[in-house]
Copies of this chain bind each other. A is one copy, B any other.
Amino acid sequence: MKTLVSYDIVEDKVRRKVFEACKDYGLTNVQYSLFFGDMTHNRREELFQRLRRIIGRQEGKVLICPVCDKDLRLSKAIEVSAGMPEEAAEAAVSYPGRSRKKARAG
């Protein structure tokens, strides 16, 4: 099941470890502190326990949230990179739950 992992960690070293843990679990870093990818229930639980150990008593927040296909289809994203031409910026809308072709059809 697709899963979002979002975190807000004060300490750089701890944030780095959280980042590495998410990568170890095959997730993709889609925003500065947001990962996205496929995870089974067990893998979510494993990652959750690992992040709890990493954070321990350090100040920080983590949300691990599965996202079903229907929610994904309803989701929308804006992705504008520096220096993108106007038309590209205008069209820089994507639908994580839909293939690029369908997304372009709007």
Residues of B contacting A77 in the complex (Cβ-Cβ under 8 angstroms): 61-64
CB of A66 within 8 Å of the partner chain: yes
Chain A facing B: main interface SS: mixed
Q: Which residues of B contact A51 (CB under 8 A)?
A: 78
**In the bound complex, do residue B71 and residue A71 qualify as a contact, i.e. CB atoms below 8 Å apart?**
yes
Q: How large is the interface on A (under 10, 10 to 19, 20 to 34, 35 or more residues)?
A: 35 or more
Q: Residues of B contacting A82 with CB < 8 Å?
A: 10, 59
In the complex, the answer to whether A4 meets B7 with C-beta atoms within 8 Å is no
Asked if A31 and B55 sit within 8 Å, CB to CB, the answer is no
Listed in ascending order, the chain A residues whose CB lies under 8 Å from chain B are 4, 6-8, 10, 30-34, 41, 44, 48, 51-52, 55-68, 70-72, 74-82, 84, 86, 89, 93, 96
